[in-house]
Amino acid sequence: MRRTGQVAVVAVAGLVLAGCISKPMMVRPGVSYGRYEADRTRCMARAVQEVPNNTQIGWAPYVGLYSVDVNAGIKRKVYEQCMRAKGYQRAELPGCDGKTIELARAAIRNDAIQRMKLGQPAEMCWFTDASGEERIFTRHEGT
């Protein structure tokens, strides 16, 4: 059974890398990435302040010991309400493909991303950066 779990993880990772998995993200077309990240950080902080952690520890077969914050869903709702109050909307974004991720990482490295603007949801995708944070990026013609 351990081998099956490893195969499933590899298959899911392959789908993410291929950009096949969509994810709900809060977006506001036309806002700068700098503004988006500032709004996002403020709303995340607000959610953490308003909703305390409630960590539960359990055990499950094939997983072993695990912990989960049972208030995570409420925190997500507070975050989304805060972002909506700032003019953002929830949209399903596909995962970025490899080429787009490399373009996004280059824009992050040279800080050019702060001057870029969010596009329409159909032009956007998401990826996980080197620190494990989920980021969004606007794909441009030819990318």
Task: Give pLDDT tens digits along the chain (143 positions).
Answer: 444 444 444 444 444 444 468 999 999 999 999 999 999 999 999 999 999 999 999 999 998 999 999 999 999 999 999 999 999 999 999 999 999 999 999 988 888 888 899 999 999 999 998 889 899 999 864 44
* Other CB atoms within 10 A of residue 94 CB: 17
CA dist., res. 66 & res. 13, Å (int): 21
Q: b/e map of 98-127 (b: 16 or more CB within 10 Å)?
A: eebbebbbebbeeeebeebebbebeebbbb
Question: 3-state DSSP call for residue 13?
Answer: helix
Distance CA 53, CA 48 (A): 8
CA pair distance 135, 143, nearest whole angstrom: 17
- Residue 105: HSE in the Cβ half-sphere, 13 Å Cα cutoff: 14
Continuous segment of H or E residues that includes residue 16: helix 2-17
